[in-house]
């Protein structure tokens, strides 16, 4: 699985060019320019943050779970991980991480998965897939993005162990209040986040909470 790489950041939140607290269960979309540093901070602990990245100049180029896993030979992300695009280019590099492990396989909760995993009456509960669709309806036209452009996502702070038989389990998160992951953009990217509203599994301790999003300009 590879070793967890804990690394603190030296960046001062007071000097961030952008600082926004994203409420529990809400979507967010924002451009991050090459050389900027992007931090996702888990304010209350164990909050899953479903995240996608697209090239700001060519939305057909986007985060690829397959290329990312193959590049590091690891299904989990931590300090030093390179987030790869579907054209084999590095989109962002994880430069600091106080959580230590982030999921690449669990995907985004949706009406269909809520129904299959939990119960028929969970079908219409708000989901990350809904959040992605809402964000694309609000802001996707700026970049030519639609629902057909949604690939497999990263789940920051989420704990999804792989069983010996190759299955996935959704377990209590491994994060805690104040933990964060920090990435340097290696190209101009558009970040798309669903601050997960899931209430049916312990990925966020059955209690969705806010996260803080910060961006620093290059020093």
167 by DSSP, 3-state: which? coil
Residue 39 or residue 113, greater confidence: 39
Nearest to 7 by CA among 171, 200, 212, 184: 184
Query: Which pLDDT tens digit goes with each residue over 116-154?
Result: 665 555 556 568 899 999 999 999 999 999 999 999 999
Task: Give the pTM.
Answer: 0.91
Instruction: Report the distance separating Cα 165 and Cα 121, nearest Å.
Output: 29
Q: What is the pLDDT of residues 76-123, one digit of tens each?
A: 999 999 999 999 999 999 999 999 999 998 787 865 655 666 555 555
- Structure confidence at residue 162 (pLDDT): 74
> How many Å from the N-terminal Cα to the C-terminal Cα in the chain?
34
CA distances from residue 91 to 1, 34, 68, 148 in whole angstroms, order as listed:
22, 9, 10, 21
């Amino acid at each position: 699985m590879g070793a967890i790489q804990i690394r603190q950041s030296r960046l001062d939140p007071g000097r961030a060019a952008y600082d926004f607290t994203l409420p529990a269960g809400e979507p967010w979309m924002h451009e991050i320019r090459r050389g900027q540093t992007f931090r996702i901070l888990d304010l209350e602990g164990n909050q899953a943050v479903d995240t996608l990245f697209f090239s700001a100049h060519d939305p057909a180029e986007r985060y690829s779970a397959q290329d990312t896993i193959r590049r590091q030979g690891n299904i989990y992300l931590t300090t030093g991980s390179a987030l790869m695009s579907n054209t084999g280019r590095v989109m962002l590099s994880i430069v600091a991480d106080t959580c230590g492990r982030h999921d690449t396989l669990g995907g985004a909760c949706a009406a269909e998965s809520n129904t299959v995993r939990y119960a028929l009456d969970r079908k219409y509960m708000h989901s990350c897939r809904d959040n992605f669709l809402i964000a694309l309806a609000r802001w996707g036209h700026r970049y030519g993005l639609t629902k057909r452009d949604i690939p497999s996502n990263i789940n920051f702070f989420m704990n999804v162990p792989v069983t010996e038989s190759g299955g996935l389990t959704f377990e209590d998160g491994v994060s805690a209040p104040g933990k964060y992951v920090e990435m340097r953009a290696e190209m101009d990217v558009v970040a798309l986040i669903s601050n997960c509203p899931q209430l049916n599994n312990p990925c966020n301790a059955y209690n969705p909470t806010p996260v803080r999003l910060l961006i620093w300009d290059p020093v």
